[in-house]
Amino acid sequence: MSTLWWMSLIGSGCVSPVAMHKAVLEYDWTVNRIETELLLLNVARTRYHEPIHFTAVSNIAATFDFRVNTGLTGLLAGSPGADSLSLTLGSSAAENPTVTIIPIQGEEFTKRLLTPITEKTILSLGQQGIDLAILFRLVSEGIILEANDGQRRFLLNQPHRRAEYREFRQRVMHLSWLHSERKLFIDPLQFTDGGQRKTGRIVVTNYDPNTLSNSKREALNRKAERFNEHHILVDIRPDHSGGDFPMFGQIKLRSFKAILGFVGRGIDEEMEVDVDPDPRTGFVAVNPARTLTIQESHTQPEEAIISAQKRGLWYYIDQESAAGELFDRWNHEAFDLLYQLYHFTVTDISQTPTLPIAISK
């Protein structure tokens, strides 16, 4: 009997890890799919000027039930040596998941979705090597440019303001080109004040800010502090790389809701257009008209990366398009950036006062 016990234990050991391994991967895939489809669905909602709404999966509790059955069956015959025994082994595994979801609303909704992103988010994403053309086109409301005499003008990142939009695109394209040439710096200012070392605001420059004197770094930081953390200072100087297209001012950052609205309106209502680089900008390998291309169709796409349905139409992102590999890569990176931006807005939803909803299998 000890042999049977060990065999049954080995059998159950084979079932439980496999079942748990598969379940964990399936839950991870499911949560990721829920989040990406919700993103796409909310883009479609903004396309129709409908309120956006997100639901977060806050907890998945799965109880696994592993069972092992063993037994002996025998036949006793009258003649010697005719007795026979047969061993039966059986095992089974069952899971009973409970998924807890929380609607994002009230103060939490405002904090996560309506507040503009911060310069620290730009620093974090910029250090990941994301194409700055994708990043700034997606997250920027526009650029506030300042002349030497203190006069300001605002370049709105909206296609209906055609001249402003065109210049905005050219300027962020220039920043992206400098970044690809490793001639752009995105760093917080470091300086000393009263003998103490301080970390100031984040700046985008075509020179190393540490080459400036301490007093000049302090002065630059004071200029950056004229605007709140939902702006990031840009200082492209004439005497450095790319300086023949100089700029000084602030990039004004959008909220996540505004980012979704920009993409949603771009499907049909306010489509982006082609803009050529400024002649002073170097070679640009890819420059699509749309920051993020969401396709709209009456039929369900067969080979889409992700899709969602709204008002009888399908909204999706192509796996491959006629535009070519570089454009497809841009579009996939843009959607991945949208996904990352959503998670940058995530706070501790476990403390939200919203009543959670538990769904059991």
Alpha-helical (H) ranges within the chain are 2-47, 106-109, 119-126, 132-139, 162-180, 214-224, 256-265, 325-344
Core vs surface per residue 220-231: b (16+ CB within 10 A) or e: bbebbeebebbb
pLDDT tens by residue, 22-76: 666 666 666 778 888 999 999 999 999 999 888 766 555 555 555 555 555 555 4
On whether the CB atoms of residues 55 and 358 are closer than 8 A, the answer is no
Using one digit for the tens of pLDDT, what is the confidence trace for 305-351?
899 999 999 999 988 887 889 999 999 999 999 999 988 876 555 55
Could you tell me how many residues make up the chain? 361
Question: Which structure tokens are listed for 197?
Answer: 């070392």
The tens-digit pLDDT sequence of the chain (361 residues) is 555 444 444 454 555 565 556 666 666 666 778 888 999 999 999 999 999 888 766 555 555 555 555 555 555 455 555 555 555 555 555 566 666 666 767 776 777 788 999 999 999 998 888 999 999 999 999 999 999 888 999 999 999 999 999 999 999 999 999 999 999 999 999 999 888 999 999 999 999 999 999 999 999 999 999 999 999 999 999 999 999 999 999 999 999 999 999 999 999 999 999 999 999 999 999 999 999 999 999 999 988 889 999 999 999 998 888 788 999 999 999 999 999 998 887 655 555 555 454 455 5
pTM of the model: 0.80
Structure letter (DSSP) for residue 251: E
User: What distance in Å separates the CA atoms of residue 298 and residue 312, rounded to the nearest whole number?
Assistant: 7
Q: Which amino acid is at 324?
A: G
